[in-house]
Amino acid sequence: MKILITGGCGFVGSNIAIYLKKNLYKSTISSLDNLTRKGSSLNKQRLLRHNVKNFKIDIENYKKIKVLPKFDLIIDCCAEPAIEASRKDPDRVFKTNLVGTFNILKKCLKDKSNLIFLSSSRVYSIQDLRKLIKNSNLQKPIKIRKKINEKFNTCSPSSLYGFTKLASEKLIIETFFNTKLRYIINRFGVIAGPWQFGKQDQGFVPLWVAKHFFKKKLSYIGFGGKGHQVRDVIHIKDVCEITLIQIRKINKIYNNTFNIGGGLTNSISLKDLTIKCQEITKNKIKIKKIIKTSIFDIPYFVTDNNKIKKFYKWKPSRNINQLIRDIHFWLKTQNNLKNFF
């Protein structure tokens, strides 16, 4: 099998590429990445050590994409994933996320390739997600145990990022309609792990561990600045495992959309994450409180994994404590990472 991973030098793409190279014997794994992101050059070196070739091509450039070799499967990991970029650089978000998907779909039709698309939990309505929490100021820890499934509202505003991912989903369904090609859409929640160069609005778990490890400043942003907002987090290794399972079963399970995340057992507030980071690094740092909340931010998200569990008899196996330990070990054993955080 020949597989192309777009965004292959990013955090998710590079980890999936290496995992598939190790576990899909006699398969050829290739990457497509323009290498503009922070850390992409480091991930490219990792791919080369595992004999994964990267095509340095911008996903907006279909002229170069269409002349690439034929692939049996494309895993589309390429995206501008930061929510705030929706406001700061909307052209980039639209072109990378939606035009990029359109180009990959044209390549799929040309070569008769199947597709696994990495979508996002942020396709869901900001307004409805906020309604789950009565007091948006979050002066106290959140106690609700609501899980969000695939039927949650996607019709209301969700940010330009959320729109481009949802529009890409619809584009995939329309493009593959009445063809024999197969697709899987995975709406992932927060993914985290080693080799993720996190930011405040994307990749917050490694950012939190790294800021404590390197003794740098952090901020609780929004919802009263208390750090009570909650997310569930899934380990990148679990993401790699379910991707491999989906590849192996794509002839039986296809043309479907799944929510995939850490679930209730792997949900955590920023406040509790701070405590865990203090414990593992033995460092206590200053955390600034910023009360104002972004219009795009949500106080709570926990994934309902029931559908993915039903279809594949699978669930995440790594907990939040292991995730933090793995990130901490990565920071300790790699050189020159301080400037990336």
- How do residues 146-159 score in pLDDT, each as one tens digit? 999 999 999 999 99
Cα 339 from Cα 341, distance rounded (Å) = 5
pLDDT at 85 over 80: no
Here the tokens at position 244 are 């491999």
pLDDT of 82 over the 80 cut: no
Q: What is the pLDDT of residue 199?
A: 80
pLDDT confidence of residue 154? 98
User: Quick one: tokens of 29?
Assistant: 């794994």
Can you list the alpha helix ranges (DSSP code H) found in the chain?
Answer: 11-23, 40-49, 62-65, 85-88, 90-94, 100-111, 126-131, 160-176, 204-213, 236-248, 270-281, 306-312, 320-333
**Band of pLDDT at residue 137, cut at 50, 70 and 90:** confident
Across 141-147, average pLDDT: 91
Instruction: Tell whether the model's pLDDT for residue 241 goes beyond 90.
Output: yes
Q: Residue ranges of the domains in the chain?
A: 2-340
What's the pLDDT score for residue 144? 84
Closest CA to 239 of 5, 15, 73: 15
pLDDT one-digit tens code per residue, 27-40:
999 999 999 988 89
Element (H, E) at 220: strand 218-221
pLDDT at 322: 98
pLDDT 10s digits, 297-312: 999 999 999 999 999 9
Q: What is the pLDDT of residue 84?
A: 78
pTM of the model: 0.96
User: Could you give the count of Cα atoms lying within 13 Å of 51 in the half-sphere of its Cβ?
Assistant: 7
- Work out the mean pLDDT of the chain and round it to a whole number: 95
Q: Among the CATH numbers 3.30.70.260, 3.40.50.300, 3.40.50.720, 1.10.10.10, which is that of 2-340?
A: 3.40.50.720
* CB within 8 Å of 325: residues ≥ 6 apart: 280
Q: pLDDT exceeding 70 applies to what percent of the chain? A: 100
* Per-residue pLDDT tens over the stretch 67-78: 999 999 999 999
What is the Cα–Cα distance from 264 to 115, expressed in whole angstroms? Answer: 29
| Bigger pLDDT: 201 vs 31 | 31
Q: Is the pLDDT of residue 18 over 80?
A: yes
Calculate ∠ Cα 101-102-108, nearest 5°: 90
